Structures are given as C-alpha cells and as structure tokens.
Amino acid sequence: MRARTERLPGLRRWAWTLALAAGLGAPWSPAQAAPLDEPFVGGLGFNGPTAANLGAVYWNPAALGLVRGFQVMVGGTMHLSRISVNRTGVNGAGQPDPALPPMATATARDLSQPFQWPPGPGSFFALSTDLGGDRFTLGFAMYEPFLEQVHFTANPDDATRYHRIDADLRNLALVPALSIRFGSDLRVGVAPGFMFSTGRLSFAEQTVPGSETASTDARYDLASGQSLGDARFSVTLGGGIYFRRKTVEFGISYSSRPLGTDVAGVEVAADKTRVTRPAGGGPITCPSGQADRCVFGDIVYRLPDVWIAGVAWHPRPGAEIAVMARWIWFHLQDRIDVRLTSPALQAAGLPDHIVFHRGFKDVWDGRVRFAYWIKERLRLGAALRLETSAVAANDVNPGAVDGFKIEPMIMAELRISRGFSLSAGYGFSYMPPVTAHPSSFDPAAAAACDAAQVQGDLRDPSCQARQQGRARPTADGRYARTVSDFSASLTARF
C-alpha cells in the first residue's frame, strides 16, 4: 500500500479538507513553540505512530514491528531560530511604565545542530531487527526528546538578563524497544528509556531590589559540562499499540516523565559553576583563592509525560493521508529550582536558592500529512503542524517564550538502491508576536516578603510569589519568534 504508481484524482481535495478541519479545530491564541520539546524526533520525514520506520521507537514502539529485516538509521535535524524581546521601559522602582521609552531590543539567534559529541540536539541513531520473522521486533534508538537552547547577546545591560542570558538544557535518551504481534493486525510495544541530563544556565541576580542597574547585579553561570560523564541519570517508561483494519491504521503511545531520581524531575549537577560579584568585584573565591569549583550548583526541573495518537488512511495504492496529535503534559513544569552551595557565597551576601517561574500548561501538537509514492522510488509529502501555547501570555518571559504556532512542511524520501534510502524535510514555524502585559513577575515582591511581619511567611502573597519564582524583575513587553527546521536521514536495510 505504500508504493504504487496509480494516479490519485481528487486526493488533493481530501488533503485540503483535512488540513482545514485541523486548523479550525485548534485553539488559536497569540504565543509560540513549546520550550524543552523536540517536535521532530527522527526528522521531518514520514514519522508518526503508524509509520513503518525506525522513528517508531519514539513515536510508537508497537509500529516498530512493521520494520522488516535488519535496519540502521542515522539522521539529524537543525533548528535555526530567532527570538526578539522588546521590554517595556521601567521606572525607578522597577515597575513597567508604557510612558517611558522601551528598552533596547534583545535578540537570540540560535542554530541547534547534531554534529557534535556526545550527540547533539536533533541527532537520531536507531537500529532494529525482526529476528527473521514477523512475531517479534527488537530496536534501539538514541535521541534527545527534551532540550532547550537560547543564547541572548552578552551585553551586560541586556533586557533579558534577569530571566535568561544563556541556556543549554539537554536530555539524551537511550531507548531499547520491543514490538510483539498478536493475531494478524494487532501489535503491542514497550520502550523503557535511560535519560542523561546535562545543562548550562546563566543569568543576572539583583543585589538592590527594584534597581535594574548592571553595576549592582551579580552574574551566575551554572554548568555541568555536556559529556555523559557529567550527566545525571533517570529512567522513563513507554509503550504503544498499533492496529490495522483494511486500509486504515491506528496507533497510540505513551512515554512517561523521568522516574527514579531523588528530586521531582531531572537534576543537572552544575559542578562547573561560577558566581561573579557586582560592580566588577570578580568571581566568588574559596579561602585559598580558588575561583573554579568553589561554588557548586544544582538545577532541578520537571519534564512532561507525552501521549501520541494517530490514524493513517490509504485511499489508493501508494497514497496516505495521516492525522496525528501529541498531548504534552507540561502542567507539572512549574519552575526551575536552582540551589548553590558555598560558604564564600553566603559570606558575600548573595542568594544560594533561586527559583524561575515557568507556569507551563499542557500543549496540543496536531498534524495533517499527505504523502504519495511516485514509481516506487520517490515519495513526496506535505504537512501542516499546529501547536498550542505552553505559556499564558502574562507568564511569557525571556526564559520561556512560547505560544501558538503554525508550521507548513514538505518532505521527500528517495530509494537510492534496494538497501538504501534518503529522507529530507523542511518546515518554517511562525508565531504571532506575544504581548506580556500585565506580567506575572513582580519586582517588589522580594522586598515585600522580607518586610513581612513574619519573614518568609508563605501566607503572605509576596512570599508566595518569591517561592513560585515570580519575585523577579518584570517581563512586561513584546516577544516574537520564528524557526526554520531542516532534517536529513539515511536508512540502510540488510
């Protein structure tokens, strides 16, 4: 059903009808693409919960049983993104004042690419074997399902510095998978995973509440290193079901949040941490004068559960119309918790516990794809992806720029020979600009909590704001983002 030469009159009408239905069914709101999520594991090709390729290890381990023989797949996806931040001007108390000139535009231009070691963001490697039959299929894949990379300009007066200067949070997954066939059309798959978390986080911290003056800011740079030896370990559980009836295929899968850690989520052991005093005071040093490995940090944040479901219909030989959706449970990702350890840090009067508010909500990622084989050698496809926002407009900040996005995509697969095929794809993601007003962040909350009758009393609203990570300089302003996605993969069959 996947490779025939008959022509398909009327299929274009079906594709446009399904795309329009998906667009009308999605909740439109001003925002952008989900942080921490890799939407194209395995590339922008013909992946999905009913697809017969090695991307099934992530999309639906049950569909791995459709892969015949012994296969190896190597691929990579590059994301070229641009984020611009136009913060509202602030008065002497740090409160947003639209009557004042806006701050200078801050921009982050990032290229995430897989050509590095350990395997970088967007990389994908997988292999599988059907053990010479059709009952059992074993597979293994390596990829990064959750990552976040954003690098704002290094200007010390950058309007983003209190929320984010630099972030590179990575989670590398090593996932074995097993698919078992029951009867003729039902398959069940399991895919436990092993996740390795590393990262870097840089930001500025006020030492004078309400004063956005770079000379009074301390600079925090937390880093673990990006090698596997620097990573903290956790496990995930996954599984799926695949069923086919005549010309229609159904698939559903689930992947859990990381489990088996001592914290609620994943932990980055930031042993390569440096804190710089304000006013050019230099780095925090130990009594011996050592600056490196004098401050130790931990970055803790949560990752989501993910549900994926899809249907593929083959109205004619060689043609496919697929509809799928991902439900990403981001509502548990409420904050990033940073804790530091160093007697020298405490002696300098700098905070050793900092919280960044995230306030994420669940994300729906819906896609419609039309694909057609031409003479069993070339498959062409077009798709439309719609994704809801993970962040409410008043929670948007330089560390969590997100919202609704729309992404048209094209993809192709060429069978170079009997044993090799090459896939490639391109997509352009657009997010309507987001205005964060009023911002959830209150620059006066930290001082108000310190001045409360019982200091740190969580019954006080200002102390609640500090605990939630909202007692930081305002993020009131206008945010925009665009992303170009490129991918290519090579599959060998033996």
pLDDT for residue 156: 62
Greater model confidence, 252 or 155:
252
pLDDT at residue 23 is higher than 60: no
Confidence bin at 391 (pLDDT 50/70/90): very high
Residues 310 and 291: their CA atoms lie apart, in Å, by 53
State which amino acid sits at residue 114: P
pLDDT for residue 131: 92
Q: Hey, is 462 helix, strand or coil?
A: helix
pLDDT at residue 28 is higher than 50: no
Query: How many CB atoms lie under 10 A from the CB of residue 478?
Result: 17
Q: Hey, is 352 helix, strand or coil?
A: coil
Residues 364 and 307: their CA atoms lie apart, in Å, by 10
pLDDT at residue 281 is higher than 90: no
pLDDT at residue 77 is higher than 60: yes
**Range among 75-79, 155-159, 461-465 with highest mean pLDDT value:** 75-79
For 11-439+474-493, CATH number?
A: 2.40.160.60
pLDDT average, residue stretch 301-317: 96
pLDDT for residue 454: 67
pLDDT for residue 456: 61
How does pLDDT run across 189-216, given as a tens digit for each residue? 999 999 999 999 999 999 888 788 888 9
Q: Is 456 exposed, middle or buried (0-12, 13-18, 19+ CB in 10 A)?
A: exposed
pLDDT for residue 256: 96
Residues 9 and 17: their CA atoms lie apart, in Å, by 15
Q: Hey, is 93 helix, strand or coil?
A: coil
Checking DSSP bridges between strand 70-87 and strand 477-493, what pairing results, if any? antiparallel
Query: How many CB atoms lie under 10 A from the CB of residue 353?
Result: 8
The domain ranges of the chain are: 11-439+474-493
pLDDT for residue 89: 93
How does pLDDT run across 240-276, given as a tens digit for each residue? 999 999 999 999 999 999 998 888 889 999 999 999 9
pLDDT for residue 455: 62
Residues 429 and 194: their CA atoms lie apart, in Å, by 30
Please provide the average confidence, as pLDDT, over all residues in the chain.
Answer: 88
Given its phi and psi angles, is residue 416 left (phi above 0), alpha (psi -120 to 50 degrees) or beta?
alpha
How does pLDDT run across 313-365, given as a tens digit for each residue? 999 999 999 999 999 999 888 899 999 998 888 888 899 999 999 989 999 99
How does pLDDT run across 85-132, given as a tens digit for each residue? 999 999 988 899 999 999 989 999 988 888 877 777 899 999 999 998
Confidence bin at 31 (pLDDT 50/70/90): very low
